[in-house]
A and B are shown apart, each in its own frame.
Chain A
């Protein structure tokens, strides 16, 4: 079974703090994604990566950055946390080729609260 793990289930941070969210997948997937899920807005893509050290902006990259130094690990960084970044953060991975490229495997999510 594909396993995508996220470093924390719940996180509480203060405004202005630098926040790191870690994601690790064990299926040797090339693609990795970071989403945030908010009520009424669904899942919105923040950043994705299709290879080590490669990254592309998603739909809402402002206030975030990412790092992918190893194939299995994709980190989301909130440079200076703000209250409007309080959300559920979901990491996902998928293979690179074929129709199964669209079948993303998700981690359990990190509920981040910024106070």
Chain B
């Protein structure tokens, strides 16, 4: 069963507008969450993370929000730029000691139109 779910396979937004990517999880033991971005023909790259003790983390145009009661996190990109067009994966850690193991969602393809 998928413990981390990204229910929207794709999202299209206009340049300059806000992009909101969503992620839901089922395991209440997850204690750290991350977003990765992947361009075609490249490996994913780390974008932003948030600990379960916080509800918001901001880095430039990127903000991640965590709602633990709803087991939901979201990534906001403001303003969106064409270079943000990529596949975005959310990931969660199992809190299983020092293995660094992550559970990834299915990914959401973001297209930012000029």
Q: A residues engaging B (CB < 8 A)? A: 4, 9, 31, 33, 35, 40-45, 48, 50, 56, 58, 90, 92, 94-97, 99, 101-109
Q: Are A108 and B42 in contact (CB under 8 A)?
A: yes
How far does the Cβ of B111 sit from chain A's closest Cβ, in whole Å?
A: 16
Select one of A9, A104, A108 contacting B100, CB under 8 A. Answer: A104
A45 near B101: Cβ-Cβ < 8 Å: yes
Q: Decide if A106 touches B93 in the complex (CB within 8 Å).
A: no
Which of B45-53, B62-70, B77-85 lies at the interface with chain A?
B45-53
- The answer to whether A106 and B106 touch (CB under 8 A), given A50-B99, A56-B99, A99-B32, is no
Residue of A nearest to B32 (CB): A102
Taking A42-B106, A90-B43, A109-B41 as known contacts, 5 extra A-B pairs with beta carbons closer than 8 A to each other, sorted by chain A number, are A31-B100, A50-B98, A50-B100, A96-B98, A104-B46
10 A–B contacts from the bound complex (CB under 8 Å): A9-B41, A42-B104, A58-B101, A94-B100, A102-B102, A104-B44, A105-B46, A106-B43, A107-B43, A109-B43
Q: Interface extent on B, as a size class?
A: 20 to 34
| Complex contact B101–A48 (CB within 8 A) | yes
A43 and B104 contact, CB distance less than 8 A = yes
A97 touches B98 (CB 8 A): yes
Question: Are B106 and A41 neighbours in the complex by a CB distance under 8 Å?
Answer: yes
Smallest CB–CB gap between B41 and chain A, Å? 7
B32 nearest CB across to chain A (Å): 5
Q: Cα distance A42–B51 when bound, in Å?
A: 22
